[in-house]
Amino acid sequence: MDINKIKEQFNHVAQKYDSHRKCFIPCFDDFYKNSVSLLKFYRSNFYNIVDLGAGTGLLTMEIYKLYNNAYFTLIDISKDMLEIAKERFNGLNNFEFIENNYVEDIPVKGCDLICSALSIHHLENEDKKILYKNIFRKLDQGGCFINLDQFIGTSKEINQLYNEWWYNYINQSGIREDEKLAWNERKKLDKENTIKETIKLLEESGFKDVECIYSFMKFGVILAIKK
């Protein structure tokens, strides 16, 4: 994983990141809001929540709406993205922001919810294996991991169909050409797995209950519970 390249790309787009999300994610509300709302039916309270690759805090905000009494730790390698997250949660004293490579370490103890959105697909498989084992170790019993991410289709043909549909959606979204080019540069960093491969990696890391709770073409949400 070229950590410096990833950091550079996301620092570059930090200021415009949020405003472009719906241009690049056709299922934005289902992805960020409705799928995450399932957590409330699993546990009425989480107390120590960690967001890996938190960026500007988009996912954290949706979880904060569900669990506003929890303590939140946002971890990201991009200082510029975290600065925007700090502005988003300005005035709240239950937030911590850490500039860090979460593959090397998750510097938090006693987590009961670890979450991530559109970050882990940038990692090589070996890094994913290390990360998933670390996530399992960091979670308390009964805790869970929810990953909103980008996946590859189970066949080249299906994945090509997904990509063509997706590119067509983006082309019609009103996004500027230079912004689309910047997105294409970030996309070169992708190391996607299929949903099935991801579930298998999580099970090998120790999770017994793992399920894809939402899927729309390239986008999926996987929930893993530590028992």
Query: Who's near 144: CB < 8 A, 6+ residues apart?
Result: 39, 42, 43, 112, 113, 114, 223, 224, 225, 226
| Per-residue pLDDT tens digits for 158-177 | 999 999 999 999 999 888 88
CATH of the domain at 77: 3.40.50.150
Domain encompassing residue 105: 3-225
Q: Coil, strand, or helix at residue 122?
A: helix
Per the structure, the count of domains in the chain is: 1
| Per-residue pLDDT tens digits for 214-227 | 999 999 999 999 99
Confidence class of residue 17 from pLDDT cuts 50, 70 and 90?
low
- Give residue 8's pLDDT: 46
131 and 145 Cβ atoms separated by less than 8 Å: no
Q: Which single residue is written with the structure tokens 């950091």?
A: 7
- Give residue 211's pLDDT: 98
For the chain, what percentages of helix, strand and coil (3-state, to nearest 5) are there? 50, 20, 30
| Per-residue pLDDT tens digits for 175-217 | 888 888 877 787 888 999 999 999 999 999 999 999 999 999 9
Which residue has better confidence, 22 or 115?
A: 115
Which residue has better confidence, 109 or 112?
A: 112
Average pLDDT over residues 110-131: 96
| Per-residue pLDDT tens digits for 46-91 | 999 999 999 999 999 999 999 999 999 999 999 999 999 999 999 9
Task: Give the whole-angstrom CA distance, residue 177 versus residue 168.
Answer: 13
Instruction: Give CA 69 to chain center in angstroms.
Output: 22
